[in-house]
Chain A
Amino acid sequence: MREWISAQWLRNTVLLAFWLGLWGQISVANVVSGVAAIATVRFIAPTEPTTSRIRIHPIGVIALAGRMVWDLVTSSLNVAMLSLVPNGPRRASSLVVEHEMADADPFVVTTMTQMIGVTPGTLVTGIERRGEHAVLEVHGLGIEQGALRAQVTSLEARVRRAFEVTS
């Protein structure tokens, strides 16, 4: 059984990796200054405290990442075609649907929003909380309403297969 990781520490780790990437190399000084910088940033700009714990499923993550790359390519082609074809802009649908999530976990909501941002012709234009659930308002370009709903629903299932979250 894999371990549950605290969302806080996952975030700190990602920030440190980002810091090291900015400097371009790993050294003791870079790690120490990175830890100091992250502590400072977290102190100056504290985020809402979260008690979420995450269990990462590597196969699910790889599937999700592969899907993200594929989505980025196809969504770019899709929007590019709409922009280039003579009648494309006039025929492209532009609509909004709401998607109610299974819960309102910030990590899952953030991941979903990010991935919808790279999926063919979709963009999150609003997030609100309704009781226990987060509701995403998703804008679709050049896609049918039913297809858009199905796409967002299957994306949530894929995200939850990659990241098991508990509060």
Chain B
Amino acid sequence: MTLVLQASLVVLLGCAALAGLRVVTGRTLVDRAVAFDLVLALAINGLAIGVLLRPTWRAEDVILVATLLGVVGTLAVAPVRGTERLMIASVWTSVVDGLVIVAAVIGAMFAVSATLGVFRLRDAYGRMHAASKPATLSAVCFLGAAALRADDPAVSTKLIVALVLQLVVGPIGAHLLGIAARQSGVELVSPDQAAPSDAATRASNASTSRGDSTR
């Protein structure tokens, strides 16, 4: 299990480095805000792994603060966003260990896809989807795993609070960025011309995005 967790940590560090690069090189302010959120979410995942690797390490308060910082940080750039965790105690250790391994693998996979999405998707809206959804699930995986393994119920509770916060705040942040993007006239990018089967979608796209520039 330690191996899996360490591998996840390496993957997360790679993702965080890429997301950090994006904070600097993002095409628009919105993109940089999205990337910043992602860096924070990944940092929270990293802290959760830290708790898993060293049960004596009390990082749950740091995680909560980082979660709230995510909200405040995004609020500062545009209007907002945030993070958190899960439950249950010890005893059935082997079952829990299995769950932790599964959660770590899934969480790392989602962290990778969120990072790739932030680079690859073609408009700011798509990149918001990438940052808000897989990153949230990734955080839920790691925080849930950490809460499961924590021996102290108070620690588990805090991790669960962080998890719930993540679920609540992630969408709020994406929502506020979305509003900011629409109001500042960030454009929707239609599917590529090379995909004729999507012609209908493209047409409707044009009709529904009217008013973009006048808002």
Does A164 make an interface contact (CB < 8 A)? no
B132 / chain A contacts, CB cutoff of 8 Å: 117, 123
Does A62 make an interface contact (CB < 8 A)? no
Given contacts A83-B130, A90-B191, A95-B209, contact A21 B168 (CB under 8 A): no
Given contacts A24-B154, A25-B154, A118-B171, contact A95 B188 (CB under 8 A): yes
One of B64, B110, B122, B140 near A80 (C-beta < 8 A):
B110
One of B121, B136, B157 near A83 (C-beta < 8 A):
B121
One of A117, A124, A141 near B126 (C-beta < 8 A):
A141
Roughly how many angstroms separate A125 CA and B212 CA in the complex, as a whole number?
Answer: 12
Does A8 make an interface contact (CB < 8 A)? no
Does A114 make an interface contact (CB < 8 A)? yes
Does B88 make an interface contact (CB < 8 A)? no
> Beta-carbon contacts of B165-200 to A below 8 Å, as 1s and 0s?
001101110110011011100001111101100100
Q: Would you call B201 and A93 a contact (CB within 8 A)? A: yes
For window 112-161 of A, CB contacts with B under 8 Å fall at 113-114, 116-118, 121, 123-127, 137, 139, 141, 144-145
Residue count of chain B within 8 Å CB distance of chain A: 56
Roughly how many angstroms separate A94 CA and B182 CA in the complex, as a whole number?
Answer: 13
For window 80-132 of B, CB contacts with A under 8 Å fall at 109-110, 113-114, 116-117, 120-123, 125-126, 128-130, 132
Does B41 make an interface contact (CB < 8 A)? no
One of B116, B123, B125, B140 near A123 (C-beta < 8 A):
B125
Roughly how many angstroms separate A88 CA and B204 CA in the complex, as a whole number?
Answer: 20
Does B44 make an interface contact (CB < 8 A)? no
Does A31 make an interface contact (CB < 8 A)? no
Number of chain A interface residues as a range: 35 or more
Does A4 make an interface contact (CB < 8 A)? no
Roughly how many angstroms separate A151 CA and B182 CA in the complex, as a whole number?
Answer: 22
Q: Closest CB-CB distance, B214 to chain A, in whole Å? A: 13
> Beta-carbon contacts of A96-115 to B below 8 Å, as 1s and 0s?
11100000000000000110
Does A36 make an interface contact (CB < 8 A)? no
Roughly how many angstroms separate A125 CA and B183 CA in the complex, as a whole number?
Answer: 9
Roughly how many angstroms separate A48 CA and B47 CA in the complex, as a whole number?
Answer: 37
Roughly how many angstroms separate A121 CA and B125 CA in the complex, as a whole number?
Answer: 10
Q: Would you call A79 and B130 a contact (CB within 8 A)? A: yes
A23 / chain B contacts, CB cutoff of 8 Å: 154
Q: Would you call B161 and A139 a contact (CB within 8 A)? A: no
> Beta-carbon contacts of A69-95 to B below 8 Å, as 1s and 0s?
000110110011011100111111111
Does A28 make an interface contact (CB < 8 A)? no
One of B136, B192, B205 near A118 (C-beta < 8 A):
B136
B114 / chain A contacts, CB cutoff of 8 Å: 80, 83
Q: Would you call B157 and A24 a contact (CB within 8 A)? A: yes
Does B32 make an interface contact (CB < 8 A)? no
Q: Closest CB-CB distance, A91 to chain B, in whole Å? A: 5
Roughly how many angstroms separate A123 CA and B136 CA in the complex, as a whole number?
Answer: 14
Q: Closest CB-CB distance, A123 to chain B, in whole Å? A: 5
Roughly how many angstroms separate A52 CA and B98 CA in the complex, as a whole number?
Answer: 46
Does B49 make an interface contact (CB < 8 A)? no
Does B153 make an interface contact (CB < 8 A)? yes
Does B9 make an interface contact (CB < 8 A)? no
Q: Closest CB-CB distance, B183 to chain A, in whole Å? A: 8
A-B contact pairs, 18 of them (CB 8 A): A21-B164, A23-B154, A72-B167, A80-B114, A90-B122, A90-B195, A91-B192, A91-B198, A95-B204, A95-B209, A96-B208, A113-B171, A114-B172, A118-B171, A123-B125, A123-B175, A141-B125, A144-B201
